[in-house]
Structure formats: structure tokens, C-alpha cells
Chains A and B, each alone.
Chain A
């Protein structure tokens, strides 16, 4: 797996406010994060013993860093607005769902629907992501170091999905204007998704995404670009068998 600059975030920061989910409740954690105001000096948080808890650090809207020491359940970082969340483990379904801005880094693997409907920000999965990664994405950038499962980027509207490994079946089914970059093989493309020319502006965009995600040793020219053929944008009965 390629090296990543962001792994530095894993180093222990002794100035962190530590929240142990063995001792405190999820509700206390999220409410403490929501109580943060602009300019707060509690900028570094650490969550211990998540043990697969759902909804860890959801709805955070301040630019703080949150290091989660372990694996999480559903919807970690849901609707994140501006915070940087690092999951030092794997993430369950819907990590970073509907994220607005900020970034989420998963050091392990991610389950289904990673980054679903995300509006902005950056989601990095250092392992593999399961099916429906980037489903209905609306502006988020997602970088997966490993592989992604089937039906990824289904109805993806906007944003970029970068996959350093392979993609499963029906990639980009019914895609709108999102851009997909896959370095490995694609099992199959979904309805209305086609391979597209990688023009200079795409190479530049991709390099920027790789840099932001801390990926080194990988060149944009190693990727193929996929996107919408736009043939299903307006209904035509002769296309009905495409659905």
C-alpha cells in the first residue's frame, strides 16, 4: 500500500482532550463536540475504546482534529463540517455520510456506502472500501488506496472518486457529473458510465487529489477516467432497456 503523509496524524498528541467511551457515553462525546465554539482552544480530541460504536463524532462543525483509536460502527463522522477525523481502525457503513467539509481518514477498511451523498471535504480510505462507495456523492472527494466494491458511485452527482486499486461491478451506474479515476481494473461499468479521455486538466486535478490524500509514488497517468455518457439525462423510450 502506498505511503501516506497523513499517517503522521496517528502520532499521539498529549495536548488532546481524551474521551474514553468505556467511561463516557456516545451522547456526551457528541454533545461536547457540538458545544465547541469558534476559537475554542480544545482543538485536538482523542476518542478511546470506540469498540464499533455507531455515530462517533457526527455533526461536528468546528475545525478540530479527532483521533479515534479503534474501529467504529455506522456513520462515523456523519455530516462532518470542517473537522479532521482519523479512524485508527476500520469503519462501518456510511463513514462520512453527507460530509459537508473537512476530512476523514480511515486507516483500515471501510464498509458499504462510504462517503454517501457527501457534499464536500475529503474522505481517505487507506484500506479497501466495500460496495456503494461514493453513492449519490454531491461534491465530496474520496480517495481509496485499495479496492472498492460493486455499485460504487451509483447516481454520483458531483465530486471525485479516486481508486488506487480495482473497482467492482457496475461502477458509476446512472452517474451524473462526478469524475471517477481508477488505477486498477474495473469489473464492469454501470448504465450510462463510460471510459473517458484523460486530458491535461484531469491529470492536474488528480495529482492535486493524490497530494491532498497524502499518496506518494503513484502517477496520475496510471489511472483511467470514467464518467457519464449523459445519454440517460432525458428520458427516451428506446433507452428503457439500459435501466
Chain B
């Protein structure tokens, strides 16, 4: 036997990992950046890093199935003559017709209505499917103004001025040619089949002083009836919230970087904006500093998955949360039943994010007439309603355990953090200590 030197185990670079290498090769081969849907996929400090304390000797709980725990929320009471009243503090975020199929939009409306909450249009105008099936519909006012018209503005229940979104603060909409069908093209006044890259700035206002005048115009057009939301991506949540309040918003929506998009550059999704958890306390602080907490409502979105996330967001001071990605999953997005077809597309159930390509096996992010038949709006709407109700029950379970007779009575004092990062971001103590990083000079 000859002696062989022990071999060196092949070692892959942590910096140049397999994914990074594949991206370099793909860029070199195709000459285009990677475009995809959904939000940030990297691991980020999140609600999982927070825990509730529950009841103890000094705090007594409410009976789980017997004592009432209120879940309702009123949005838009600051200026609107007709504020929105929702049964649950979980709303459906804006997603466009164009990025989503007509049956998917209808299912969102049906599910939200069954659960007693609102749904939202998107960068593509208001469709009859969603107006007809949504008891409460928020109409987005976007830089592109695709399909924006007086009639729809007046038949909306609230108006959301979109300044940015968490997946791409500073980026505009994107809908590639494969999804610009005749109907989508007509609603957007665009030629069929072009790659639509909508504007990132509003065409007729710039900055907070103009925004105030724009909001005045929208109120005048709608006779001061409808709540006006301002939605921002999680960029500068303290100042964005304060400026939105100053501009006259009834509701501020802050969307963290886990918030999804129909399509944008991967580099944008993963590298611009702040995690949802990092956005909440600065936004709440801005409202508190202005004496407007609970007067101007705060909605937070981006990575809300279950009732614990809802409860944690509310405990940190938000009035309601909004879901997009999770709602699509409830409708059937990324369902393993389509695994064979996901494999054909070079992906797997749970990882499919090429929503811009319009070939969604689940029939949700497509304009293909055959694929979209896979969404039964009634059944999918029912699933969404079930999911929303489960989330609500979960949040109530936690709130009662913390002795709260309303979800909105949850407070930061009910929380601790598992990591120093989460403690610093959420402004709650690291578990087992009374240390809040950044507070009291430490």
C-alpha cells in the first residue's frame, strides 16, 4: 500500500456561492439583469425574532373562547366623511390586474369581502370583477395612472396614493410583453406586447408640498368623502410617515422589503429598502411625535404570514397589516400540485417567482386564458377568507393570553426579542434582559 496524502475537501466560496456563480453565468449569457416577482428572499430580522410574554402573576389572561377580543379597525377617520370600517385588521394589498388574472382579482375581492376586510386595485386600473366582488375596495393612484378615471375614483371606497413599494422603493411598475394582452393593453392605453416599464415618479407632483396639493385635489374631486392613504416603500419610515401626515394623509401604508412585486430587478428587491421589522417603530414614533398615533392610521405590510405576525405588528403600534404574497398562496400560488409544471419551467413549487413571464401553472400571475381557468374565484376566495379568519383567530389567541380585550391593546411591553438586531429594530428588550439596544445610551 502506498501512502496518499489526505486530500483537501473541495471548498466552495461563501462569497461566490452557487447562486452567485449561476447569476454571473446567466448575466454573461443573456445580457440582461434577472427580473422576478415576490419580495426579498434573503434572511432578514423579522417577526420570528420577537416573542410575546403572555400572562403571569402580574398580568391576567382572558378566557380563550369566552371573553371578547375586538378585532375591528376604522381607517380614515382624520378627514374623510366616510371612513372605512373593517372587521379585521388584515387587508389585501394592491396587486394589479395585468400582473394578476381576472379570476385571481375576483377571488381576492370575494375572500376579502367574506372576511370583512378590504382589497386594493393596482397599477392597471379597476376591473369590474374586483369592484363587483369587493365590498370595500381601495383604488390605487399610481405614477402611471393607467386606467385612472373619474368614475372609478368616485366608486372606490378609499384612495391610495402610491409613492413607493417595499420591493422597490424608487422603482416603477414593470409588466413585460408576454402579459400585455388585448384587455391589459386597452386598460393601460399601451400597444399590445410591449415591455411596459411604468414611471417611478408621479407625473404631476414632486415632494411633500406638492403631495399636499395633490391630496387636496383628490379630496375636492371626491367631495371629501373617501379616506386617502399614502403608501411608501420602507425607505425612510420616520420622515416618510411624518411627511405623509403633513401632506394630509388619513392613513399611511409602509411596505417593508419583504413586500412582493409582480416584477422587478432581483438586485432591486434584495438590496434597496429596509426590512418590515425595521420600519415599524420609526413610523409609529413619527406618529407619536406628531400627536397623531391612532388618529392617522398606520398599515404595515411585507412578510406578514400568520396571526403571530399580525399580533406583533399591532403590538408595535400599527393599526392594520396588509398581505399580498400570503394572499396569493392562499389562492393557490406555488401549490405543489403543479410540481411537474414548475419543474418544466426550471423551478419548483415554493420557489416559482417568474411571475412576469405569464406562464404561472397556478393561473394566478398570468393572462393566458387557459391557465387562468385554473383559478375558481369562488373556491379560491373561500380559501382566502378561511386563511384571513385563521390569522385573526391566532392573533386573538395571543392577545387574550396577554390579557387584552382588543388586538389594538397589545403593546411593546408584551414583547421581547430573541436577537440584538431585532431588539434594536423593534425597540423591545432582548429576552432575559432589560436591555433595548440604542436606548439609555447603550
Query: Which residues of A are at the interface with B, using a C-beta cutoff of 8 A?
Result: 26-27, 30-31, 34, 54-55, 58-59, 61, 73-75, 78-79, 81, 93-94, 97-98, 100, 112-113, 116-117, 119, 132, 135-136, 138-139, 154-155, 157-158, 176-177, 233-235, 237-238
Contact = CB atoms under 8 A, between A and B. Distances in A.
A170 B188 CA distance: 24
Q: How large is the interface on B (under 10, 10 to 19, 20 to 34, 35 or more residues)?
A: 20 to 34
Contacts of A119: 148-149, 189
Contacts of A116: 203-204
Contact of B221 (A78, A113, A136): A78
A177 B220 contact: no
Interface in B371-402: none
B156 to A, nearest CB: 13
Contacts of A235: 32, 195
Contacts of A177: 191
A160 to B, nearest CB: 14
A98 B204 CA distance: 10
Contacts of B177: 234
B103 to A, nearest CB: 27
A129 B216 CA distance: 23
A101 B234 CA distance: 37
B203 A136 contact: yes
B285 interface: no
A55 B217 contact: yes
18 contacts: A27-B220, A59-B220, A74-B213, A74-B217, A75-B204, A79-B149, A79-B153, A93-B204, A100-B150, A112-B204, A117-B204, A135-B204, A136-B144, A136-B203, A154-B203, A157-B188, A177-B191, A238-B31
B268 interface: no
A139 B145 CA distance: 13
B203 A55 contact: no
Interface in B208-236: 210, 213-214, 216-217, 220-224
A234 B195 contact: yes
B330 to A, nearest CB: 33
Contacts of A136: 144-145, 199, 203
B60 interface: no
A120 to B, nearest CB: 10
B203 A117 contact: yes
Contacts of A74: 210, 213-214, 217
A22 B210 CA distance: 24
A98 B145 contact: yes
Contacts of B199: 136, 155
A27 B224 contact: yes
B239 interface: no
Contacts of A176: 190-191, 194
A172 to B, nearest CB: 14
Contacts of B203: 97, 113, 116-117, 132, 135-136, 154-155
Contacts of A78: 217, 221
B145 A34 contact: no
Contacts of B144: 136
A138 B150 contact: no
Given A34-B223, A59-B153, A138-B189, 19 more contacts: A30-B220, A30-B221, A55-B220, A61-B150, A74-B210, A74-B213, A75-B217, A79-B149, A79-B150, A93-B210, A100-B150, A117-B203, A119-B148, A132-B203, A136-B199, A136-B203, A139-B189, A158-B189, A233-B191
Nearest to B212: A54
Contacts of A93: 204-205, 210
Contact of A113 (B153, B188, B204, B224): B204
Contacts of A132: 203
B204 A97 contact: yes
Contact of B214 (A75, A79, A158, A234): A75
Contacts of B193: 234
A75 B213 contact: yes
Choose among B149, B204, B217, B222 the residue with the greatest number of A CB atoms under 10 Å from its CB: B204
Which 6 residue pairs across A and B have the least CB separation, nearest first?
A: A59-B221, A237-B31, A94-B204, A117-B145, A116-B204, A138-B189
Given A54-B216, A135-B204, A117 B148 contact: yes
Nearest to B189: A138
Contact of B220 (A26, A112, A238): A26
